Amino acid sequence: MPKIEVSYSDLCKLVGRKIPEDRLEEYLLFAKCELDDKAGDTLKLDLKDTNRPDTWSVEGVAREIRLRYKKDFPNYKMNKSSVSVIVDKSVKDVRPFTVCAVVRGLKINSAVLSQLIQLQEKIAVAFGKNRKEIAIGVYDLHKIKPPITFKTVGRTEIKFVPLDFEKELTPQEILDKHPKGKEFGHLLKDAPRIPAFIDSANNVLSIPPIINSAYTGKVTEKTEDVFIECSGFNLKFLSTALNVMVAALYERGGQIETVDVLYDEKIVTPNLKEKKFIMDMDYINSVSGLDLDKKSIIDLLQRSGYRVELNKKLTLFYPSYRQDIMHARDVVEDVIISYGYNKIEPEMKKLATKGSVRKEEVFANKVSEIMVGIGLQEILSYTLTNYRDLFEKMNLPQEKTVEIENSISSNWSVFRTWLLPGLLDFFSNNMHVEYPQKIFEMGICTTINENMETKCKDTRNLAAAIINSTVSYEDISSVLDAFLRNVGIKYELNALSHSSFIEGRCANISIDKKIVGFVGEVHPKVLNNWKLDKPVVAFEINLDEMQKIKG
């Protein structure tokens, strides 16, 4: 979850009243965040909602608190700026979209500047997949000569001084030498040309998603007017990011102005038009368990930032920077937050229920005991992983799998489809430990299944692996045999060609002529990908299928 630092005095100023220190944690719950620490004037906050980037700064937290007692709906009246951005067709295959805005009349001090930088980075990292989907640039408007062109340039075609440097560098030199180039250069690894924002005076604003220019891209306490651009691959996400940025600066007294962004057709950004959601009023009480009258419901909705129209149904209007309202339950959650979770009295269930251990868990416990008895150590790895570990490192072509939308980190962006990559990752992180290492894991794997209501299916798998200076197929097949004999299952092994394993040293595991897994010696290329210098043998079985057959 995103963590931010804010100034307590700045928070109180933006809220418009002194927040009693003994009630601070209570107030922070309105913004779905918790107080991790308070040191002097500095508050360390833990944000509990990855779908609310509008709360990832002191301005957003203050807005949520202020709404609860003032019903202070922001009125985003925008003027039209004289700035336009021309989007060249050359960016289509590199970084195709941008949305932009101008904000004037800012009074920037150290608190404002720190929040601006923090919000910019949190959105790009947590909401923008570590700058892959969203990169944000903020610039001193008075150092820019419009119109601005968003285009691509050769890797050695231009030179400019990047932020935190004093020497002019080419884009390629920035990728090779600048800390941000080294950190994010992989995002442009396969790009034949580099995206860049350049004004009509030929001043470089930035090469997204890497670094801003030290001249135009350095915002200081002397800056009053700023130009903001968000670039990436999805206009919907980019628009949300831009709206969050300008809404935060509006809280600081900034006047928002629109920018003409010229593709084949012109779009005008930002678009701060309210969004609309329609639902039944009765649904709020039925889901929340509260017994609220009509007046109370409307009051709580208004304190949650909604404008309410009541006809046969509730018509709710909410700010453009919110992109988390996807179901009526999201609205109910807002109502409960405004009502106060701590005010809800827990109730005992009136229906008597009898608990018992599921037979799948009984079987899993038996499997675990058998594997430990054979001499293997049980590990537990993460259910979330990434495409690189699942496919590329395993010498397999990438397949479609269940992916997290707006994941916080690209390293934890998809659900695992099998367990073996996690075992190899364990080995790579324990090369300092004595050999042999014999491990196993039982865990849930998730695959796409269009026939299921959720379009995906969970299965419980078992995987085992051994790493040692000398280890072979016979070592792991004997472990497999011991396991299946203890379970009481007869099986067959048939030759299998699998890119993760050595050809001729891999087999399918079949039970009653149904394939339930595989066993073999891991391919040297896979070992190199995981930086392992000793051979590995492994097997993996679908326990759910095995249990069905066993009965």
DSSP 125: I
What's the pLDDT band for 551 if we cut at 50, 70, 90? low
Q: Cβ(547)–Cβ(360) under 8 Å? A: yes
The tokens describing 226, both together, are: 């700023």
DSSP 389: I
Q: Cβ(196)–Cβ(95) under 8 Å? A: no
Q: What is the predicted pLDDT for the residue at 212?
A: 95
What's the pLDDT band for 379 if we cut at 50, 70, 90? very high
The tokens describing 315, both together, are: 């018509």
Q: Cβ(437)–Cβ(419) under 8 Å? A: no
Q: Cβ(413)–Cβ(407) under 8 Å? A: yes
The tokens describing 86, both together, are: 């021309």
- Mean pLDDT, the chain, integer: 92
What integer is the mean pLDDT of 529-541? 95
Name the residue type at position 97.
Answer: F
What integer is the mean pLDDT of 161-166? 91
Q: What is the predicted pLDDT for the residue at 542?
A: 94
What's the pLDDT band for 549 if we cut at 50, 70, 90? confident
Q: What is the predicted pLDDT for the residue at 130?
A: 86
∠210-227-225 over CA atoms, to 5°? 130
**pLDDT digit string, tens, across residues 168-184:** 999 999 999 999 999 99
Q: What is the predicted pLDDT for the residue at 359?
A: 84
> CA 117, CA 57: separation in Å to the nearest integer?
10
Q: Cβ(121)–Cβ(130) under 8 Å? A: no
> CA 189, CA 259: separation in Å to the nearest integer?
31
- Pick 262 or 409 by higher pLDDT: 262
What number of other Cβ atoms are within 10 A of residue 278's Cβ? Answer: 12
Report the phi/psi class of residue 395: left, alpha or beta, with left for phi > 0 and alpha for psi in -120 to 50: left
Q: What end-to-end distance do the CA atoms of the chain give, in Å? A: 42
Q: Cβ(6)–Cβ(115) under 8 Å? A: yes
Burial of 114: CB neighbours in 10 Å, binned 0-12, 13-18, 19+: middle
Q: Which domains does the chain have, with CATH numbers?
A: 3-69 (3.30.56.10), 79-269 (3.50.40.10), 275-342 (3.30.56.10), 359-550 (3.30.930.10)
Phi and psi at residue 428, to the nearest 5°? -65, -25
**pLDDT digit string, tens, across residues 81-103:** 999 999 999 999 899 999 999 99
* Residue closest to 320 by CA, chosen among 74, 64, 484, 127: 74
Residue 406 has pLDDT above 80, yes or no: no
pTM of the full structure:
0.69
> CA 109, CA 92: separation in Å to the nearest integer?
38
User: Long-range contacts of range 180-187, CB-CB < 8 Å, 24 or more positions apart?
Assistant: 180/210, 180/211, 181/210, 181/211, 184/130, 184/131, 184/209, 184/210, 185/210, 187/131, 187/132
Q: Cβ(259)–Cβ(83) under 8 Å? A: yes
**pLDDT digit string, tens, across residues 2-17:** 889 999 999 999 999 9
DSSP 194: E
Residue 127 has pLDDT above 90, yes or no: no
* Residue closest to 536 by CA, chosen among 431, 427, 430: 427
Residue 408 has pLDDT above 70, yes or no: no
**pLDDT digit string, tens, across residues 254-267:** 999 999 999 999 99
Residue 358 has pLDDT above 90, yes or no: no
What's the pLDDT band for 393 if we cut at 50, 70, 90? very high
Phi and psi at residue 465, to the nearest 5°? -150, 150
